[in-house]
Chain A
Amino acid sequence: MLNLDQQLLGANVSFLIDPSWLGAFWFLVAVFLLDSFDISLPRGDSTGVAGALCAAAIVVLGPTRAGAVALVSAIVTHAIRRGTEAPRRLGMVVTARGAAIVLVTLVLRGILGAPLFVTYVVIPAAFLMAELIVSQAVASVSTGRPFLRLLKGNARSQTPLIAAQWSASALLLVTYAGMGPWSLVPVVALLLLMRQSYAMFLDIRETYRTTVEVLVEAAESQDLRRVGHADRTAAVAREVASRIGLSAAEVERISYAALLHDLGELAEGVEPADEGQQRAPSADVVHGVEFFEGVEPILRVCDGGATGSPSSDDDLLAALIVALASDIDAEYHPEVAAAHHRSTVDIVAPRVTAEIKAKAVGAALRLGYRIPAVG
Chain B
Amino acid sequence: METDARTPRPFRLLAWPLLVLSLGFFGYSWAASPPTMSLQLLFVVLAAALSEFFALQLPQFTFSLAYPFAMSAILLAGPAGAGLVAAFSAISFSDLRRQRPASVLAFNFGQLMLEVCLAGWTYLLLGGRVMAISPSVFRPLAGPDFPSALYGMLACAVVFSITNLLLISLGVSLLGGARTRDVFLSSSGLVPTQVALAFVGFLMAQVLTISVIALPLFVFPLAVARQLHERYTGLREAYVGTVRSLVGALEAKDPYTRGHSERVAEYAVALGQAMNLEASELERLEYAALLHDLGKLAVPGAVLAKPGRLEPVEMDRIREHPARGADMIARIPPLRDLAETIGQHHERIDGGGYPGGIAGDRISMPARILAVADSYDAMTTTRAYRPALDREGAIAELLGGAGSQFDAQVVRTFIESRVGRVVVPASDDEVASAAVVSVQED
Contacts and interface: CB of A to CB of B under 8 A. Distances in A.
A190 interface: yes
Contact of A171 (B198, B218, B325): B218
B414 interface: no
A214 B332 contact: yes
Interface string B294-317: 110111110000000000000000
Contacts of B243: 211, 215
Interface string B275-298: 000000000000000000011011
Question: What range describes how many residues of A lie at the interface?
Answer: 35 or more
A1 interface: no
B247 A215 contact: yes
Contacts of A186: 199-200, 202-203, 206
Nearest to B192: A196
Contacts of B334: 203, 207
Contacts of B177: none
A309 B203 CA distance: 55
B143 interface: yes
Nearest to A203: B334
Interface string B101-134: 0000000000000000000000000000000000
A269 interface: yes
A194 B206 contact: no
B146 A179 contact: yes
A168 B221 contact: yes
Contacts of A211: 239, 242-243, 246, 332, 335
Given A178-B206, A180-B143, A200 B253 contact: no
Interface in B212-264: 213-214, 217-221, 223-229, 231-232, 235-236, 238-239, 241-243, 245-247, 249-250, 252-254
A157 interface: no
B333 interface: yes
Contact of B210 (A167, A178, A205, A288): A178
A45 interface: no
Contacts of A25: none
A189 B333 contact: no
Contacts of B218: 167, 171
B241 A289 contact: yes
A155 interface: no
A258 B333 CA distance: 22
B263 to A, nearest CB: 19
Given A163-B224, A171-B214, A203-B334, A208 B229 contact: no
A352 interface: no
Contact of A219 (B229, B298, B331): B298
Contacts of A164: 220-221, 223-225
Contact of A193 (B142, B147, B200, B299): B200
A371 interface: no
B62 interface: no
Contacts of A285: 245-246, 249
10 contacts: A161-B224, A163-B224, A167-B218, A197-B225, A198-B228, A210-B331, A218-B324, A267-B250, A289-B241, A290-B242
- A-B pairs with lowest CB-CB distance, top 3: A269-B253, A221-B298, A269-B301
Interface of A: 117, 160-161, 163-164, 166-168, 170-171, 174-175, 178-180, 182-183, 185-187, 189-194, 196-198, 200-201, 203-208, 210-215, 217-219, 221-223, 263, 266-270, 285-286, 288-292
